[in-house]
Structure formats: C-alpha cells, structure tokens
Amino acid sequence: AQRVTQPEKLLSVFKGAPVELKCNYSYSGSPELFWYVQYSRQRLQLLLRHISRESIKGFTADLNKGETSFHLKKPFAQEEDSAMYYCALRDNNNDMRFGAGTRLTVKP
C-alpha cells in the first residue's frame, strides 16, 4: 500500500527566508504526487501537482524517484504562505492518500 510521510508537523521561518516542506512516499507503482494547502478558515485546495511542472505562488516541487521524495520549496517565504500543507499521492487505482501535514508559520 502507498504511504506518504511528512516528517515535520511544524515549520516556522521568517519572512523572506527560504522554506522547504518535506514529503517522502512509498509506493511500488508509478505515483502521481500533489501538494494541497489549507489556509485559515478555508477549504483544502490544490497547490500544485508534479506532472504540471509549474510554479504556483512561488512554490515548486520536484519528484525525485530515487529518493522517493516530493519536497515543496519557495525561495522567499511570505506571511500569506502561513497555512497547513499536505502532500498527497495518487496510485494507479485512482486512490488518493494524504500525509499528516505540516503547519507552516511565516513570521514578520
């Protein structure tokens, strides 16, 4: 079965500092990886997906199959980036499983 691990429950950085939220996965097939975000008092929503290879709100994530990782990065964090971030994996049966989440706090 697939598994998604986010080792940090909490991450705090200062505004303008780089940020990296870690995500590791285990899955024997070919996964599709996502990052979802939940801002305060809002619904869980898609941030980005690995197949799109896009930068959203300055965030990027690269799928590293050798290290089975999909870390989320942003070079200069902003206060509005403070939120809960969830890494998710879709398997070949279209099941979508989530990690436990990392709460990012960006301090002024």
Binding site for other proteins (CB under 8 A): 6, 9, 32, 34, 36, 43-46, 49, 86, 90, 93-101
For the CB of residue 38, give the shortest distance to other proteins in the complex, in Å: 9
- C-alpha 95 chain-centroid distance: 18
Residue with tokens 């879709």, as numbered in its chain: 90
Taking the C-alpha atoms of residue 105 and residue 108, their distance in angstroms, rounded to an integer, is 10
> Closer to other proteins at the Cβ: 11 or 96?
96
> Closer to other proteins at the Cβ: 3 or 107?
3
| E strand or H helix that includes residue 42 | none
| E strand or H helix that includes residue 12 | strand 10-14
For the CB of residue 31, give the shortest distance to other proteins in the complex, in Å: 11
> Closer to other proteins at the Cβ: 30 or 108?
30
For the CB of residue 67, give the shortest distance to other proteins in the complex, in Å: 21
> Closer to other proteins at the Cβ: 15 or 84?
84
* Beta-strand runs (E) in 53-100: 60-61, 72-74, 83-90, 96-98
With H, G, I as helix, E, B as strand and everything else as coil, classify residue 70: coil
For the CB of residue 37, give the shortest distance to other proteins in the complex, in Å: 11
